[in-house]
Amino acid sequence: MQILYDAADALFESQNVSDDALLSVISSDDEKFREYLFEKARSRAVENFGNKIYTRGLIEFTNYCKNDCYYCGIRRSNKNALRYRLTKDEILECCAEGYELGFRTFVLQGGEDPFYTDELICEIVREIRSGFPDCAITLSIGEKPRESYAAYREAGADRYLLRHETINPKHYGRLHPPELSLENRVRCLRDLKDLGFQVGCGFMVGSPYQTLENIVEDLRFIKDFSPHMIGIGPFIPHTDTPFASERAGSLELTLVLIAVIRLMNPRALIPATTALGTINPRGRELGVLAGANVVMPNLSPVAVRKKYSLYDNKICTGEEAAECRGCLARRMESIGYELSVSRGDYPC
């Protein structure tokens, strides 16, 4: 038991411990120890960000996807998915509404949809950039050639979210069809960083075939890659995917990993994700109490919310943006935190 507490202290002091120690920490189901770990992680987050929680307005602008990831509800083989695309004007309206509500970061996320050519993405980015000059623009639209990323950056995009999903090539192969490779995923992340984006990687907790050893590899990769943002959330099965009858990831392990990731990457921007709020009604609050410092309320038009269904029972699909923001503000206040009205860049 003392080994665990020593590991938590070492993580706090030196942002690193051995793989064996990491494995012990993430294997532990001792509640008292977990509380200790959460408290350490939370104090590290408060040290860097105070009691402010950054908000990102999430705009899910297309659920068409040319990929076929086994876990994802909007994979191309899912014939039951009701597909939609937002027009440039609809996206700009979401931004305008978000701006009024105090958002200073917009995240454009979608499937890999060839309808949005690089030209169109750049046009959308340029218009958001000129209409909302004090806002950060984040893209999360998957794997592209380096030249595309360079064009998005040139157009004014600041950040890019691309979870690596798992850093173990074998495991990667069990989550994705053969045409997708871990090698290309990592190539994308390196290109994005090189081009000056603030970059986010991350993975699902409890994805099928994931072992605790795999997770240690992920933690090591993240530490080495040193991203600005780190998104993790539980895997949740979607009925219309090959993983329909797999088990969801656990709340406890997700929280432990948020804490460990915070301790290893003190200044990283770490969201308490919607998936975490989906597996537990207080998931996002618990995420913040374990060291997360970002929430990503939905700005997508209510008419399309349910259709961006990556996993079953996703929360916040019925509320207007203002309601979502109000609800999150109250949730954060209930645990002594406040939503921040700033771009929320990676601290220099």
Which of the stretches 94-102, 159-167, 216-224, 261-269 binds ligand SAH when contact is defined by CB under 6 A?
Answer: 159-167
Rule CB under 6 A: is residue 221 a binding residue for ligand SAH? no
Rule CB under 6 A: is residue 112 a binding residue for ligand SAH? yes
* 157, two tokens: 């995009």
Rule CB under 6 A: is residue 311 a binding residue for ligand SAH? yes
Q: Between residues 165 and 285, which has the closer beta carbon with respect to ligand SAH?
A: 165
Phi then psi for residue 55, to 5 deg, are -115, 140
Which of the stretches 50-58, 81-89, 173-181, 233-241 binds ligand SAH when contact is defined by CB under 6 A?
Answer: 233-241
Rule CB under 6 A: is residue 236 a binding residue for ligand SAH? yes
List the one residue from 233, 277, 291, 344 that touches ligand SAH (CB under 6 A): 233
CB of 78 to ligand SAH, least distance (A): 11
Rule CB under 6 A: is residue 149 a binding residue for ligand SAH? no
| Per-residue contact string for residues 255-274; x = within reach of ligand SAH by CB under 6 A | --------------------
CB of 181 to ligand SAH, least distance (A): 13
Rule CB under 6 A: is residue 59 a binding residue for ligand SAH? no
